[in-house]
Amino acid sequence: MFNILRAASALVAATILSIGIAHAQPQGKRVALLVGPTQDKYIGAWTKAFTDAATPKGIAATLFSSPFDPALQAQQVDDAIAQKFDMLVLQTISQKAIVPALTRAKAAKIPVVLIISEFPGNDAADLYLSYIGTNSGRLGELAGEAIGKAMTASGRSNAKIVAITGSMAEGIAPMRMEGMKRSLARYPGVQIVAIEDVKWNPAQAERTAGQVLARFSAQGGLDGIYGMNDSLANGAIQAAVAAGIKLGTEKGSLTVVGGNCQAPGVRNLQDGKMAATVRMIPAEEARLAAAKIQEYFEGKPLEKRHYIEHEIVTSANLATWAAACSY
């Protein structure tokens, strides 16, 4: 009888172990990938890189794309919950609007991994498993450092800077601006004299930059412009060129710093029209997300935040990053 019980116990244990091993495998896992419009070059590059990295790991990604429509994204989350995906991988279109949908995902016991756009601080921390991607605050800090160093090196002790930004109502733009302000606090002679919200629209960036350049011309002009990504910085550069304003890093010129390390930034760095950008490569983020999600499905815990590395990119190190940034 003892031998029979021992054999039965061993069989149960082996069965439980085999179930646990089977569960801790990425093979066959289904993730819903919920992002903004893939026509956006950054989002499109991120999506392709993630799919390319996840598929060989046995992770099947189903794409749900929204044209920056918070209501549609909330509906897409509900659809993914109904389809019982193993995980939601989500770029938040609106951090405020998505909270009820994430609450429903939590109730359905479907883990959520955030990408591209994180919640600030501890906001909604109980509604998602991890954020994997860009450190928005660090991006702003590095851009501020690039501007501060350029102003100091050129002897501009009372420099006026304008920021041309993405949407400041919520999301990554406010975090980037806070990071920039932290950096510029170390350069007391450099002040932000205006923050212009163009909601990530490059055409609006060019119009707005033209207006602020004209507005400050009677005050001796601006010393620098921060374009929150390289497309916005490019708009500012086009406005400066149209106004006949000299671009560069020396005193008496307009120093432009961008972000995101995009193709327009690569061209402007090569042409000497932009002083710096900040490395932020979608393929790096996507591959990191795929690797960490694989680890989760293998039973390993995820940290609350996994950030990619960022660094200032100038003409001095552009050759290292030009190809990766030209997406």
Mean pLDDT, range 143-165, rounded to an integer: 96
Q: CA of 157: how far to CAs of 76, 154, 184, 253, 277, in Å? A: 51, 9, 12, 14, 22
Write the CA distances from 208 to 202, 238, 267, integer angstroms.
10, 11, 22
pLDDT at 210 over 70: yes
Say whether pLDDT at 294 is over 80. Answer: yes
- The closest alpha carbon to 240, from 162, 187, 142, 318, belongs to 162
pLDDT at 21 over 50: no
DSSP 301: -
Q: Between 143 and 14, where is the model more confident? A: 143
Question: Tens of pLDDT along 233-242?
Answer: 999 999 999 9
Q: For the chain, what are the domain ranges?
A: 8-134+282-309, 137-279
Lowest mean pLDDT, pick from 15-19, 38-42, 82-86, 108-112: 15-19
For residue 27, name the pLDDT band (cuts at 50, 70, 90): confident
Q: Which of 286, 294, 324, 288 is nearest to 33 (CA)?
A: 286
Please say whether the structural domain 8-134+282-309 has been given the CATH code 3.40.50.2300: yes
Q: How far apart are CA 298 and CA 320, in angstroms?
A: 34
20: pLDDT strictly greater than 90: no
Identify the bridge partners of residue 112 per DSSP, sorted by sequence position: 88
Residue 18 confidence (pLDDT) above 60: no
Q: Where do we find the tokens 């996840």?
A: 54
Angstrom distance (rounded) from CA 251 to CA 86? 56
- Asked if pLDDT for residue 125 goes beyond 90, the answer is yes
What average pLDDT does this structure show over 189-217?
Answer: 97
Mean pLDDT to the nearest integer, 22-45: 87
Does residue 6 have a pLDDT over 60? no
How far is 323 from 311, CA to CA, in rounded Å? 16
Q: What is the pTM of this model?
A: 0.88
Q: Compute the average pLDDT of residues 226-232.
A: 97
* pLDDT value for 221: 95
Phi, psi of 80 (to 5 degrees): -65, -35
**Are domains 8-134+282-309 and 137-279 of this chain identical in fold?**
yes
Q: What is the pLDDT of residues 238-288, one digit of tens each?
A: 999 999 999 999 999 999 999 999 999 999 999 999 999 999 999 999 999
Count of helices and strands (H, E) across the chain? 11, 12
Q: What's the rounded mean pLDDT across residues 6-27?
A: 45
**According to the model, what pLDDT value does residue 24 have?**
62
Q: Which CATH number fits domain 137-279: 3.40.50.720, 3.40.50.450, 3.40.50.620, 3.40.50.2300?
A: 3.40.50.2300
